[in-house]
Amino acid sequence: MATLKLQVKSRSGRDLLPDGLLLPSDATVEDLKARFAELKPRYYTARQRFTLPPREGSRSGEALADGKRLVADYGLADGSVLFFKDLGPQIGYATVFFWEYFGPLMVYPLFYMLPQIFYFGIKAPEKSLVQSLALAYWSFHYVKRLLETFFVHKFSKATMPIFNLFKNCAYYWGFAAFVAYFINHPLYTAPPVKRAAAALATAMLCQFANFRCHVILANLRPAGSGRGYVIPRGFLFNLITCPNYTAEILGWICFSIATQTAAAAIFTLVGAAQMAQWAAAKHRRLIKTFDGREGRDKYPRRWVMLPPFF
Amino acid sequence: MARQGRVARLYLLAYNCAQAAGWAYSGWLLAQHVAATGSLRGAYAAAGEPVRLFQLASALEIVHAALGLVGGSPVTALMQWAGRSNVLFGVVAAVPEVQPGLAVGAMLAAWAASEVVRYPWYAAGVAGACPHWLTWLRYTAFIPLYPIGVVVEMAAVYQALPLIRGRRLRSVAMPNPFNFAFDYHTFLVALLALYPLLWFRLYSFLFRQRAKKLGPGAEAGSSAKKQA
């Protein structure tokens, strides 16, 4: 078994390890990252990103994915060059999800329970049944999200840049306050209770559908089966690439109808726009991966996220 | 440039030429007005209509960015269009008292002066025949025009504030069927507070672009792909 000596450069060409990086020839990417972290303790493994030299006409080369072997999967040999990028301080996915979902769970009920603070000076009448149902639904939704974060979701990456924590929390907490402010306002005009109840019941069905989609996604890749993509099948996945988003958006549309609030509709629209971007990217990725060649399956014709338009 | 097919390039050329013509016309009306009255006061009455038309039409630039016809983010394009449109349509068009003022007149002049350089530069870029002096003008004219522009825009909005507040213009209060409330006056005050920051980001971005396009090693006749 030979020893490889790899050159590690920054993307501007600076040599980061003058003595090179020594690894056995059967080393994996994890071994590489562990060794690099030993030499440069500031860059713990989650912060490291290595890319191969770019090919002709490309701006950047392929990134090294955890779990693969250096020589066998990337053709790295003694003297090969790798480019390093610092991804910045990282934070765990589950940590971010916790804080971004915990906020709305705390913020919304504050508006419901403390009108004397948030609607200072305005006389607050009794809450309508619709407002109470809305509070229950909203709370249920975010409890569901928190439980899914810790018991259902399998994250494809362990960490994200720490800046995302602030960005995501600003979005979720901000919109929670925005929506809660209007629904719990003393001058709120409730739609007919029957309509609101029917809409929220439909929203709950959407939540169950969304949950089922999450369970299917979590079970797509059983532990230890490697990191390859799998074509999702079953339930709504036979028709739509991202039915979890479909169910989520429909749920929020129902919530907007139930509460008859422009703020909820705006929240729904912005969320839908973001989910559409993610769905389009996922759809493209799956089509590109499952191109039908070399024994791979061909990705079936499916709606991206919102039949019959998209 | 590689992303633009033949039809796309012809369309963009036509669009940028039309905007250039529109703003040149507006600029000419402004010049006539100044020649006749010796001041920019009351210029809105002279040039307001074409300015409103071409500003409205420039919403297309958001679509261009969203479709990938031009570079740049559609969100940035939206914010820039919305900022100017808010001042023009939201404030000035709704408050006749500020229209004859110097702030509004100077605002139109600053806008016209900027656009009459920017659109021909885009057009030349699309046509692939951009003379160096035009690039120089595009990346130099903004240096005085942008600060002047932002100051007079803010002044015009500031002048309109008491009238907007008194008349509760463009505002909606609860209760209402949409359970929504919006106070335009408060919104404008918050916007005025943010304006210097937002404007400064754009200003420094243009300076960086200037260094790239006019600095050593920059190619003459650079592509107009990235719109700013």
CATH numbers and ranges of domains, chain A: 3-87 (3.10.20.90), 91-289 (no CATH)
Residues A140 and A146: their CA atoms lie apart, in Å, by 10
Closest CA to A93 of A168, A36, A37: A168
Residues of A in contact with B181 (CB under 8 A): 182, 185
Residue-level pLDDT at A12? 86
List CB contacts (< 8 A) between B179 and chain A. Answer: 182-183, 185, 188-189, 259-263
B187: phi then psi, degrees, rounded to nearest 5: -60, -45
What pLDDT is attached to residue B228? 47
User: Where are the extended beta strands (E) located within chain A?
Assistant: 3-10, 21-24, 48-51, 81-86, 90-92, 159-161
Q: Is residue B124 over pLDDT 80? A: yes
What is the number of other CB atoms lying within 10 angstroms of the CB of residue A144? 17
Contact criterion met (CB < 8 Å) for A188 and B178: no
Measured between alpha carbons, how far is B159 from B156 in angstroms, rounded to an integer?
Answer: 5
- Partner residues linked to A50 by β-bridges: A84
- B177 close to A (CB below 8 A): yes
CB A61 within 8 A of CB A131: no
What pLDDT sits at residue B225? 47
When divided into structural domains, chain B yields a total of: 1
- What is the per-residue pLDDT for B224? 44
How many CB atoms lie under 10 A from the CB of residue B207? 13
Instruction: Give the tokens for residue B169.
Output: 């213009």
Look up residue B183 and give its two tokens. Answer: 């106070």
Phi first, then psi: what are they for B10, rounded to 5°?
-65, -45
Q: Within the 43-72 window of chain A, which residues sit less than 8 Å (CB to CB) from chain B?
A: none
Q: What pLDDT does B218 receive?
A: 57
Q: Is the residue at B228 inside a domain?
A: no
| B166 occurs within a structural domain | yes
Q: CA-to-CA distance for B143 and B114, rounded, in angstroms?
A: 10
Cβ atoms of A258 and A130 closer than 8 Å: yes
Per residue in B35-80, pLDDT (tens digit) is 999 999 999 999 999 999 999 999 999 999 988 889 888 888 998 8
A128, A184, A187: best mutation site toward chain B, by most B Cβ within 10 Å?
A187
User: Does residue B220 lie in a domain region?
Assistant: no
Residue B151 lies in a domain: yes
Minimal-distance CA residue of chain B relative to A262: B178
What is the per-residue pLDDT for B217? Answer: 60
Give this prediction's pTM. Answer: 0.82
**B50: three-class secondary structure by DSSP:** helix
Q: Encoding tokens for residue B116?
A: 């009459």
Collect all residues of chain B within an 8 Å Cβ-Cβ radius of residue A185. 174, 179, 181
Domain interval for residue B196: 6-215
Confidence of residue B2 (pLDDT cuts 50, 70, 90): very low
Give me the DSSP letters along A248-292: HHHHHHHHHHHHT-HHHHHHHHHHHHHHHHHHHHHHHHHHHH-BS
| B224 inside domain | no
Give a yes or no: residue B110 inside a domain.
Answer: yes
Q: Give the A window 163-222 contacts with B, CB below 8 Å.
A: 182-183, 185, 187-189
Check CB contact under 8 Å for B174 and A188: yes
pLDDT at B21 (0 to 100): 97
pLDDT digits (tens, 9 = 90+) for B57-69: 999 999 999 888 8
Report how far apart, in Å, the C-alpha atoms of A20 and of each of A17, A52, A78, A114, B61 are: 5, 16, 10, 62, 50
3-state per-residue secondary structure call for A123-169:
CCCCCCHHHHHHHHHHHHHHHHHHHHHHHCCCCCCCEEECHHHHHHH
Token duo for residue B188: 């404008």
Q: What are phi and psi of A298, to 5 degrees?
A: -100, 130
Q: Model ipTM?
A: 0.79
Question: Does B91 score more than 50 pLDDT?
Answer: yes
Which residues in chain A show pLDDT less than 70? Answer: 1, 223-227
Question: Among the options B61, B115, B139, B153, which is catalytic?
Answer: B153
Strand partners of residue B124? none
Concerning whether B146 is annotated as a catalytic residue, the answer is: yes
pLDDT tens digits, one per residue of A222-268:
765 556 788 888 899 989 999 999 999 999 999 999 999 999 999 99
Evaluate if residue B219 carries a pLDDT over 90.
Answer: no
Q: What is the pLDDT of residue A64?
A: 87
Residue B221 belongs to a domain: no
Is the pLDDT confidence value at B223 over 60? no
**pLDDT value at position B141?**
94
pLDDT-derived band at B222, boundaries 50, 70, 90: very low
